[in-house]
Chains A and B, each alone.
Chain A
Amino acid sequence: MIDFWIILTGALVASCCGILGVFLVLRKMAMIGDAISHSVLPGIVIAFLISGSRESFAMLLGASLLGLITVFLIQLFQQSGVQSDASIGVVFTALFAVGVVLVSLNARQVDLDLDCVLYGEIAYVHWNTWSLGGIELGPKAVWLLGFTLLIIALIIGLFYKQFKLCAFDPTLAAALGIPVALFHYVLMGLVSMATVSSFESVGAILVVGLLIIPASAAYLLTDRLGAMLIWSVSIGIASTSLGYGAAVALDASIAGCMVCAAALLFVLAFLFSPKHGLIARAVRRSRLSQRQAV
């Protein structure tokens, strides 16, 4: 049963991140995902200090707000002439430092250690259950992640066409009257929500791995957005399950093994993808040169 809950939690994290990661990779904003996952830390700590519990919707809200502030600040500095790379770096490191300082200041009264924030505690997921009227309803983390996944699926599903157009051709989308900036911020809000609800399970830093790696592997495997979403989610789920197995076998960090498994699957896609893989390209090139020689 413990294994089941851990794998289910991993699968939920992978689905949330896999869906959003696709849009981040397509819009070339992978590092903004990284920035958000670091800078939600002060939001998490402040919400935790106010509400006093880890799985609260207040935390979700606080951190989403922080994510939006991050994106806003990054854009503000970019518009004032700072390079986009550098403005990402300045903003997220500053916010992360604020978070670390807040945690250290309240280390005594806060049961929120940095290790948990960084690596997550997916192994303890099943201890923290939610019961309603005496009935055990399963781990809180699963409920929180399920809720987040529902919101993500709902918003992406309702505005699929708009998100698709914004991902591939923002200029055309703007010309057609789609509020591109609004969708940008909605996407960023969803990314921060996904980060926050996953941070306890896999840790704030390794969320980045699950956001970017499966989506990038999916990008190498298909040319269609729908197929890419499915590939990304299934690669994510495969890597969390594989990673959990490896972690049990090696007695190592579960979150670390999950990201390593995702990296392994990415390398496989990079080498053996039927269309964009390294080997397929080499074969195509050698065939072409043979034909030219004839």
Chain B
Amino acid sequence: MIQHIVAVVADPNTQWILAGCMLLGLCSGVVGCFSYLRKQSLMGDTLAHAALPGICIAFMLTGTKSLLLFLIGAGISGVIATFGIGWITRYSRLKSDAAMGIVLSSFFGLGIVLLTQIQHSSYGNQSGLDKFLFGQAASMIGADVYTMMIVCALLLTVCTLLFKELKLFAFDAGFARGLGYPTALLDQLLMLFIVIAVVVGIQAVGVVLVAALLITPAVSARYWTDRLGVMVVLAGLFGALSGALGTLLSSMVQNLPTGPLSVLSATALFGISVLCGPRRGVLTQAIRTARLRRSERARLRELSAGTMRKEAAS
């Protein structure tokens, strides 16, 4: 077991994949915290699906598969998707959940139409584009990981620099606007972060599951702390840990894709958090209730004993 892990980590190919998956988990964990607090967790899911047509168009226009071009294409279609959701909720009586569902499925439908167009026409280099749906971490190469490193470093730097602004915006957007913060800009920035995390993740985890890395680590971290700084760090750690676990597990069993295993690792961490988190965890709550019940019972017993003594005395 340990020998195997050492062998896997020593393998240079796996090192890239491991590094990529951990970076991805780290970034999406950090971004996920803010979108969780903004009550926009499913935005990641929507933007992941909406990225598909952008990626297809970027590929059709250039004919090359490069992470940077896909990032641009997915960014543009993600921005269009957010505007679409905004328009639908502002100019009709539909609520945001229906708007998200509409945008998600129509963009994804368009993406699938474009994908079949690519497959049917003679784009020589098309093999593997459909791998984007479920992700194929094994296809990650050094250049991709370098791009991911730069993108992640940028994202984390901006998050650190704007931490105070993002914090206020996440908790009380109205107050932030009152203080004169550019909330519309911050909102767009957060959307951009989500799009970046999604596009970076699509190659490794796939369109359908990349939302999990945005949501699950953040929710798990919420169980452990009430402070945003701690939560962001914890979510990043959880994300990186689940990326690493996913890579290691998939290297042990043949035929198992990395993406779903990373997601399941994140879910396992979530399960542990639900059970053992201090204050909110199920186990800790049960223990607290039991302790409270015992102390109350003892108090009652003493009280009733006291009254009986008094009655006996009178």
Give A residues with C-beta under 8 Å from B. Answer: 25, 28-31, 33-34, 38, 77, 80-83, 85-90, 93-94, 96-98, 100-101, 104-105, 107, 114-115, 118-119, 205-206, 208-209, 211-213, 216, 219-220, 250-253, 255-260, 262-263, 266, 270, 276, 278, 281
Contact present for B267 and A94 (CB under 8 Å): yes
Contact present for A118 and B255 (CB under 8 Å): no
The minimal Cβ–Cβ distance linking A210 to chain B, given in whole angstroms, is: 8
Stretch at the interface among B38-46, B70-78, B175-183: B38-46
- Chain B residues closer than 8 Å to A208, beta-carbon distance: 101, 104-105
**What are 25 sample pairs from A and B whose C-beta atoms fall under 8 A apart?**
A31-B100, A38-B208, A77-B274, A80-B274, A82-B222, A88-B42, A90-B215, A93-B208, A97-B260, A98-B260, A98-B264, A100-B257, A101-B256, A101-B264, A104-B260, A205-B105, A205-B108, A205-B208, A208-B104, A212-B105, A216-B101, A263-B102, A266-B106, A270-B91, A276-B93
B116 within 8 A of A: yes
Contact present for A83 and B261 (CB under 8 Å): no
- Chain B residues closer than 8 Å to A263, beta-carbon distance: 102, 105-106, 109-110
The minimal Cβ–Cβ distance linking B130 to chain A, given in whole angstroms, is: 8
The minimal Cβ–Cβ distance linking A191 to chain B, given in whole angstroms, is: 13
Contact present for B105 and A209 (CB under 8 Å): yes
Measured in the bound complex, the distance between the Cα atoms of B216 and A257 in whole Å is 32
A28 in complex: contacting residue of B95, B104, B218, CB < 8 Å? B95
Contact present for B109 and A89 (CB under 8 Å): no
B68 within 8 A of A: no
A260 in complex: contacting residue of B110, B130, B270, CB < 8 Å? B110
A206 in complex: contacting residue of B105, B214, B259, CB < 8 Å? B105
Contacts A33-B101, A93-B209, A219-B93 known; A85 to B42 CB distance under 8 Å? yes
Contact present for A34 and B109 (CB under 8 Å): no
Contact present for A31 and B109 (CB under 8 Å): no
- Chain B residues closer than 8 Å to A255, beta-carbon distance: 109, 112
The minimal Cβ–Cβ distance linking A170 to chain B, given in whole angstroms, is: 15
- Chain B residues closer than 8 Å to A115, beta-carbon distance: 130
B280 within 8 A of A: yes
Q: Which 10 A-B pairs have the closest CB atoms?
A: A259-B109, A209-B105, A263-B106, A93-B212, A256-B112, A89-B215, A212-B101, A97-B260, A256-B113, A30-B101
A90 in complex: contacting residue of B108, B117, B208, B212, CB < 8 Å? B212
A216 in complex: contacting residue of B102, B216, B218, CB < 8 Å? B102
Measured in the bound complex, the distance between the Cα atoms of B98 and A262 in whole Å is 14
Contacts A85-B41, A101-B260 known; A28 to B117 CB distance under 8 Å? no
Give B residues with C-beta under 8 Å from A. Answer: 36, 39-42, 44-45, 49, 88, 91-95, 97-98, 100-102, 104-106, 108-113, 115-117, 120, 130, 133-134, 208-209, 211-212, 214-216, 218-219, 222, 255-257, 259-261, 263-264, 267, 270, 274, 280, 282
Measured in the bound complex, the distance between the Cα atoms of B264 and A68 in whole Å is 20
Residue in A closest to B120 when the chains form the complex, CB atoms: A251
The minimal Cβ–Cβ distance linking B14 to chain A, given in whole angstroms, is: 18
Measured in the bound complex, the distance between the Cα atoms of B208 and A114 in whole Å is 12
Measured in the bound complex, the distance between the Cα atoms of B93 and A119 in whole Å is 31
Measured in the bound complex, the distance between the Cα atoms of B97 and A100 in whole Å is 26
B94 in complex: contacting residue of A90, A119, A216, CB < 8 Å? A216
Contact present for A260 and B106 (CB under 8 Å): yes
Q: Which of A30, A94, A97 has the most CB of B within 10 A?
A: A97
Measured in the bound complex, the distance between the Cα atoms of B41 and A85 in whole Å is 6
- Chain A residues closer than 8 Å to B282, beta-carbon distance: 80
Residue in A closest to B93 when the chains form the complex, CB atoms: A276
Contact present for A86 and B41 (CB under 8 Å): yes
Contact present for A25 and B94 (CB under 8 Å): yes
Residue in A closest to B36 when the chains form the complex, CB atoms: A86
Measured in the bound complex, the distance between the Cα atoms of B208 and A96 in whole Å is 9
Given A30-B98, A206-B109, A259-B110, 8 more pairs with CB closer than 8 A: A86-B219, A89-B44, A93-B209, A100-B260, A212-B101, A220-B93, A256-B111, A263-B106
Contacts A93-B211, A97-B209, A101-B264 known; A83 to B102 CB distance under 8 Å? no
Contact present for B39 and A209 (CB under 8 Å): no
Measured in the bound complex, the distance between the Cα atoms of B36 and A256 in whole Å is 30
The minimal Cβ–Cβ distance linking B39 to chain A, given in whole angstroms, is: 6
- Chain A residues closer than 8 Å to B41, beta-carbon distance: 83, 85-86, 88-89
Measured in the bound complex, the distance between the Cα atoms of B115 and A98 in whole Å is 25
Measured in the bound complex, the distance between the Cα atoms of B216 and A138 in whole Å is 45
Contacts A81-B280, A97-B260 known; A212 to B102 CB distance under 8 Å? yes
Residue in A closest to B246 when the chains form the complex, CB atoms: A97
The minimal Cβ–Cβ distance linking B210 to chain A, given in whole angstroms, is: 9
- Chain A residues closer than 8 Å to B108, beta-carbon distance: 205-206, 209, 259
Contacts A89-B45, A205-B208 known; A34 to B102 CB distance under 8 Å? no
